[in-house]
Structure 1
Amino acid sequence: MKAMVVSDTHGDREILAKILDHFQDQVDAFFYCGDSELPASDPLWQSYYAVRGNMDFDADYPMARVEHVKGFTVYETHGHRLGVSMGTAKLEEHAQAVNADCAFYGHTHALEAHMNGPLLVLNPGSISQPRSYQQYGGTCAVVTMAATQAAVTFYDRALHPIPELAQSFAR
């Protein structure tokens, strides 16, 4: 599975359209981890698996979702209701309860990736309002999952890979 993960655009619809256009033939799925501030009826969401963030006031967004892509299970949420600002333990519990291979979240605007056993936990950072690695103008991530390995490539706002932030994990 190869997935684009993006979060926390806060009204910046243009970057979501740019990401979709740039990566549409390169990934199997697009995940959006909340705080778009766009209506849930926006046509962009026909291409992204999107969840509701604390700044999304449209109740038609799901708070969390479980998706199956190319044999992998993804648990996705914004994370604000799971206390991700204080750590990812609750997020990981929710993901493990559905036997997820990946747990994608946003909210903190700070990128991070780690493994908890076979579970990849990923925050792509914010593509529009980063709180970490601001020199890149924002970040998003491509996750490549295989049976024995998980790889994360972070991209800057210009959609160039950031090699020094790339991570690879054994599963």
Structure 2
Amino acid sequence: MKNILIISDTHGDRTELAKVIARHANDTEAIIHCGDSELEGTDEVLKGVNIVKGNCDFGTDFSEETLLEIEGQRVFVTHGHLHNVKMTHLNLLYRAEESGADLVCFGHSHSVAAFHERGVVFVNPGSLLLPRQPREATYAICRLTEKGIEDVRFFERDSGEEMTSLRLEV
């Protein structure tokens, strides 16, 4: 089993980002940041982090999207602004199908989301800095096994406590 730490929309807050990464350093095999870090690609806190460019990230340090292979699962990562995720998930679904993704990680809305559609699991971890829904700052951990995606769990930034009401069992 492999755990993926999924973070988004940290908007320049290195301190909180570093705390969450350190909290899960021993129990996650991959870290994904879904954009709007507002940090330089050379920033030490991003070392080993798979990150994409958000609408508040300027410069050329990050790509708009990436496709990773983790535990035999294809993981598509994007910020979401180019797919209009605040209005619909249909564009993101089409892109996921084009890329053959099993898991899609995205941000932009600052709102937690976890659902599956047409065999694809979608995760928006919310925001570590400026949460909208729920009001708590959040991040997610997705558990993968050789059989596929097991679940998606959400955690409150400050306490690290799981928000069990938001868990998605796949």
TM-score, scaled to structure 2: 0.93
Corresponding position of 2:6 = 5
- Whichever residue aligns with residue 44 of structure 2, its letter is P
Q: How does 1:66-81 map to 2 (within 5 A)?
A: 66-81=67-82
Does 2:90 correspond to 1:89? yes
Does 2:165 correspond to 1:157? no
Counterpart CA distance in 2 for 1:72 and 1:86 is 27
Counterpart CA distance in 1 for 2:165 and 2:37 is 28
Distance 1:53 1:99, change over 3 A: same
Counterpart CA distance in 2 for 1:25 and 1:157 is 17
> How many residues are matched?
167
Counterpart CA distance in 1 for 2:80 and 2:149 is 25
Are the equivalent residues in 2 in contact too, given 1:6–1:125 (CA < 8 A)? yes
Moved over 4 A (4+): none
Q: State the superposition RMSD in angstroms.
A: 1.2
Corresponding position of 1:98 = 99
User: Residue 19 of structure 1: CA displacement?
Assistant: 1.3
Q: Per-residue CA shift, 1:121-148, capped at 9, x if unaligned? A: 11001111000011x2x01000113325
Corresponding position of 2:30 = 29
Counterpart CA distance in 2 for 1:34 and 1:123 is 11
Distance 1:56 1:163, change over 3 A: same
- Stretch of structure 1 that moved more, 88-97 or 99-108: 88-97
TM-score, scaled to structure 1: 0.93
Are the equivalent residues in 2 in contact too, given 1:8–1:107 (CA < 8 A)? yes
SS of corresponding position for 1:122:
strand
Counterpart CA distance in 2 for 1:64 and 1:10 is 18
SS of corresponding position for 1:18:
helix
Counterpart CA distance in 1 for 2:46 and 2:22 is 14
SS of corresponding position for 2:86:
helix
Q: Per-residue CA shift, 1:77-109, capped at 9, x if unaligned? A: 001011101111111211221211100000000
User: Residue 44 of structure 1: CA displacement?
Assistant: 2.4
Are the equivalent residues in 2 in contact too, given 1:28–1:69 (CA < 8 A)? no
Contiguous gaps of at least 5 residues in structure 1 = none
Aligned residues: percent identity?
A: 31
Counterpart CA distance in 1 for 2:89 and 2:8 is 16
Corresponding position of 2:142 = 143
